[in-house]
Chains A and B, each alone.
Chain A
Amino acid sequence: MDRTTRKLLFAMAGGLLATAAWAEDPIKIGIPVGLSGANSVVAPSVVQSAELAVEEINAAGGVLGRKLQLEIADDASGAAGAQKAFDSLVFQKEVNAIITMETSAARNAGLPIVAKGEVPFIYTSFYEGRSCSPDLYVNGWVPEQQVPPVVDYFVKKEGAKKFFLVGSDYAFGRGMLEFARTYLEKAGAQVVGEEYLPIEGTDWTAIISKLKSSGADALITSTAGGAPNVTLTKQLRGAGIKLPYGNLAVDEGTAKSMGPDAAGIYIAASYVTSIDSPANKKFLEAMQKKFSGELRTPNDLSVPQYEGIYLYKAAVEKAGSTDASAVLSALGEVSVAGPRGTVSMNKQHHAPLTMYLGQVQEDGSVKVVETFPDVDPGTQCPNL
């Protein structure tokens, strides 16, 4: 009540004075993101795309006449850091929404804080699925959308029958591979090994030796992004593993900088830079223009972040205010045409997405091998 009164007074004062171009407080968007730790490879690109979205929206008149403003906080890619970051964003900076890409551990740590502070949360990262909360919307992919393209391709085109699964020991790693195992067994393939290493582990020796002796004819990995992914790929290549290799956690930018080690890896993503659409071209040009030399390659984590901010804008406009419950019910209805095509989070707070199966080339670019339009996220949150 207090806050509403204060805002009303402020709006009236602003109207009376009519000196400022912006009548009200800016709408604050909180971005707790892994600037340090495992996510630090990809976090800068996420921040860049958020900055572009905000700049574009503000240049076109803002949202309901209010400017958007970003509040960025480092969540250190983990639960402890996320608690601090969410706390300070929700209760000190008093953000109107949280829109971010994070590790699953960080997201889970942030959810209770978001619920307590009554702040809508748009999660823009792909993840292991089934995170359900009335405050949470997701516009990244879940295993039901990402695993089938890789498995189907390996089974049908490469004739693979025996799969070996390797992951980092955390929610995303285990969740992805659990789904992969179920899906593989349904597809009639056999899982000959499933191994995990702690997220900060660096020595994959024993796992690689097991992989070699398992007789597997395809490999699917789901590590944490960044360091573990790089370490595993380096050691796999060092050990001369040449199996068809599907990596559920590598993004295009990381693949590019890994150089020749990444060549041949299969990735499935809802965004690759080579999507041939006017919206994507416009987005890439705007990114290039804004950041030029500093530009981090836009990827499957940064583009949903860009679209997430537009989805929030659409929801606020539909709701007619930044009121949390009105925005939350609008978020499930609005849709936004972005670089990935038209995206709407209308399936139990999740989004049907077009998925691309790509293969990393020698020069680091990703060649699209097959496109799977409008893949459904399946049953994620039947109670929402």
Chain B
Amino acid sequence: MTILLDVITTAAILFVVAAGLLAIFGVLKIINFAHGAWLTVGGYCAVATTGMGLNPWLALPVAFVVGSALGGITEVLVVRPLYRRPLDAILATWGLGIVVGQLITLWFGRDVQFTPNLLSGTINVFGLDYSFYRLFMVLAALVVGLGFAVLLEGTRLGLSARAVIMNETLARALGIDTAKVRLTTFMIGTGLTALAGVLLTPLTSVDPDMGLAWLIGAFMLVMVAGSSFGALAVACLVFGGAQTLVSTFVSPVLGGITVAVLCALVLRISPKGFARA
């Protein structure tokens, strides 16, 4: 029973962390290797917000605004010229990640920062005391996932975005302002990632490298999921589940590399990953 909860909550955390990366990859076909840095930015938004004596929950909207603003600047200055050179974009965003990490270090110092917990304590589920916050992460993942579904299926922006995903040239020929779609998507992606950074603070320490630990896992999951949020959810459940099982029954040391290894295997066998499943 505990394992089932561990699997679900681990998957939820992975989903929240990877969602922003998927949004950008799905529409823009760009791997945003600055993903880890945006997570870190979110973590530090939580530090700054609570440092000013404000309610820790306020860090969520603050991080979204800060993340999307910085994302907007990045899109215009760094990413926009590189859409036709996806490999260069990987390098550029990786470098950007290093720059952001260093700026954070300059501003806040290298050491670990502390933030108050958003929710503390445990809650009784099916006769088990389980971490309240981890269960809250499941809710957060559902909100993020459904939010995207509504955005993509139910709004004008979503329609344009889907058009861009399917055939960008045709979309532009039909008068869709693809540059604007890209900018908006990038901003939503980075904003969401910063928000995920805040959501991680009760689980990890906040330091200039905090995002890095999550980058590879999120990257591999997105590679497997392609551009579909449904596929991402499945991937998180399968690989997050595998990680939990390996950690529980084999060794937590191996558990740490389970996601990366399994994703690589899946991509070797089926290059499309779960996108067509």
Given contacts A196-B252, A234-B205, A238-B134, contact A41 B112 (CB under 8 A): yes
Interface residues of B, CB < 8 Å — how many?
41
The reply to whether A198 and B244 form a contact with Cβ atoms under 8 Å apart is: no
The reply to whether B202 and A207 form a contact with Cβ atoms under 8 Å apart is: no
Q: Which residues of A contact B131 (CB under 8 A)?
A: 235, 238-240
Say yes or no: is B2 at the interface (Cβ < 8 Å to chain A): yes
Query: Which residues of A, 32-88, contact B by the 8 Å Cβ criterion?
Result: 35-37, 40-41, 43-44
Q: Which residues of A contact B2 (CB under 8 A)?
A: 209, 212-213
Say yes or no: is B145 at the interface (Cβ < 8 Å to chain A): no
Q: Which residues of A contact B112 (CB under 8 A)?
A: 40-41, 226-227, 230, 254
* Interface mask (B108-124 → A, CB under 8 Å = 1, otherwise 0): 01111010110011100
Binds A, one of B3-11, B26-34, B54-62, B168-176: B3-11
Q: Which residues of B contact A202 (CB under 8 A)?
A: 203-204, 213-214
Inter-chain CB contacts under 8 Å: number:
110
Residue of B nearest to A206 (CB): B247
Query: Which residues of A, 212-265, contact B by the 8 Å Cβ criterion?
Result: 212-213, 226-227, 230-231, 234-235, 237-240, 254, 257-259, 261
Give the residue of A195, A201, A261 whose beta carbon is less than 8 angstroms from that of B256: A201
Say yes or no: is A205 at the interface (Cβ < 8 Å to chain B): yes
Q: Which residues of B contact A201 (CB under 8 A)?
A: 213, 252-253, 256
Q: Which residues of A contact B132 (CB under 8 A)?
A: 238
The reply to whether A203 and B256 form a contact with Cβ atoms under 8 Å apart is: yes
Q: Which residues of A contact B129 (CB under 8 A)?
A: 239-240
The reply to whether A234 and B204 form a contact with Cβ atoms under 8 Å apart is: yes
Say yes or no: is A200 at the interface (Cβ < 8 Å to chain B): yes
Interface residues of A, CB < 8 Å — how many?
39
The reply to whether B203 and A207 form a contact with Cβ atoms under 8 Å apart is: no
Given contacts A239-B130, A240-B121, contact A196 B253 (CB under 8 A): yes
Q: Which residues of B contact A206 (CB under 8 A)?
A: 6, 244, 247-248, 252, 255
Say yes or no: is B25 at the interface (Cβ < 8 Å to chain A): no
Q: Which residues of B contact A203 (CB under 8 A)?
A: 10, 243, 247, 255-256
Say yes or no: is A210 at the interface (Cβ < 8 Å to chain B): yes
Say yes or no: is B133 at the interface (Cβ < 8 Å to chain A): yes
The reply to whether A238 and B117 form a contact with Cβ atoms under 8 Å apart is: yes
Q: How far is the CB of B116 from chain A (nearest CB, A)?
A: 7
Task: Say whether chain A's binding surface is mostly helix, strand, loop, or mixed.
Answer: helix
Query: Which residues of B, 250-266, contact A by the 8 Å Cβ criterion?
Result: 251-253, 255-256
Q: Which residues of B contact A197 (CB under 8 A)?
A: 252-253, 256
Residue of A nearest to B248 (CB): A206
The reply to whether A40 and B116 form a contact with Cβ atoms under 8 Å apart is: no
The reply to whether B120 and A238 form a contact with Cβ atoms under 8 Å apart is: yes
Given contacts A203-B10, A237-B120, contact A258 B114 (CB under 8 A): yes
Say yes or no: is A169 at the interface (Cβ < 8 Å to chain B): yes
Residue of B nearest to A230 (CB): B205
Given contacts A35-B110, A238-B117, A257-B114, contact A209 B6 (CB under 8 A): yes
Given contacts A206-B244, A230-B112, A258-B114, contact A40 B207 (CB under 8 A): yes
Distance A203 CA – B259 CA, assembled complex (angstroms): 13
Given contacts A195-B252, A197-B256, contact A238 B203 (CB under 8 A): yes
The reply to whether B111 and A239 form a contact with Cβ atoms under 8 Å apart is: no
Q: Which residues of A contact B244 (CB under 8 A)?
A: 205-206
Q: How far is the CB of A168 from chain B (nearest CB, A)?
A: 10
Q: Which residues of A contact B210 (CB under 8 A)?
A: 227
Distance A209 CA – B105 CA, assembled complex (angstroms): 34
Distance A35 CA – B214 CA, assembled complex (angstroms): 22
Distance A163 CA – B249 CA, assembled complex (angstroms): 20
Q: How far is the CB of B254 from chain A (nearest CB, A)?
A: 10
The reply to whether B204 and A205 form a contact with Cβ atoms under 8 Å apart is: no
Distance A373 CA – B9 CA, assembled complex (angstroms): 47
The reply to whether B205 and A235 form a contact with Cβ atoms under 8 Å apart is: no
Q: How far is the CB of A276 from chain B (nearest CB, A)?
A: 29
Q: How far is the CB of A5 from chain B (nearest CB, A)?
A: 43
Residue of B nearest to A201 (CB): B256
Give the residue of B6, B114, B207 whose beta carbon is less than 8 angstroms from that of A205: B6
Distance A238 CA – B132 CA, assembled complex (angstroms): 7
Q: Which residues of B contact A200 (CB under 8 A)?
A: 213
Distance A196 CA – B109 CA, assembled complex (angstroms): 29
Distance A150 CA – B248 CA, assembled complex (angstroms): 28
Q: How far is the CB of A299 from chain B (nearest CB, A)?
A: 13
Q: How far is the CB of A6 from chain B (nearest CB, A)?
A: 38
List, sorted by A's number, 15 A–B pairs whose CB atoms are closer than 8 Å: A44-B111, A169-B253, A195-B252, A205-B247, A207-B252, A209-B6, A209-B248, A212-B2, A227-B210, A234-B117, A234-B202, A235-B131, A238-B117, A239-B134, A240-B121
- Given A36-B208, A239-B122, 10 further pairs, Cβ under 8 A: A36-B105, A169-B253, A198-B253, A200-B213, A202-B214, A203-B255, A205-B6, A234-B204, A237-B117, A261-B117
In the A-B complex, the 8 residue pairs with the closest CB atoms: A206-B247, A240-B122, A230-B205, A40-B110, A238-B131, A227-B205, A206-B248, A239-B131
Instruction: List residues of B whose CB falls within 8 A of some A CB.
Output: 2-3, 6, 9-10, 105, 109-112, 114, 116-117, 120-122, 129-134, 202-205, 207-210, 213-214, 243-244, 247-248, 251-253, 255-256
